[in-house]
Amino acid sequence: MTLVLKKPHKSARKPKGDGHLRRGEILAAAERIFIAEGYAGATIRKIADAVGVSSTALYMHFRDKD
């Protein structure tokens, strides 16, 4: 019998780091998007994509876009 080993799954996420640094990174991205697109154009999805996290992860730091 032959044993087949699979390669470990690589995550597309950034490694977990200091929450304060991540919060600052999110705020900086949000500021850029709000300036460029206005309040109505700035979405949680756009901010999350700019930082490289999921919308769910963003909600762990902020309740909403207000």
Q: Tell me, what's the pLDDT at 34?
A: 95
Q: What is the pLDDT of residue 17?
A: 55
Q: What count of other Cβ atoms lies within 10 Å of the Cβ of residue 39? A: 8
Query: Could you tell me the CA-to-CA distances from 31 to 2, 13, 34 in Å, in that order?
Result: 55, 22, 5
The 10s digit of each residue's pLDDT in 2-50 is 655 655 555 555 555 556 668 889 999 999 999 999 999 999 999 999 9
Tell me, what's the pLDDT at 64? 72
* Residue 58 near residue 26 (C-beta atoms within 8 A): yes
Both tokens of 47, joined, read 């901010």
DSSP 52: T
Residue 60, pLDDT score: 84
Write down the pLDDT at residue 29.
94
Query: Quick check: is 47 in a domain?
Result: yes
Q: Is residue 8 situated within a structural domain?
A: no
Domain count of the fold of the chain? 1
Q: In terms of residue numbers, what domain contains 61?
A: 39-66
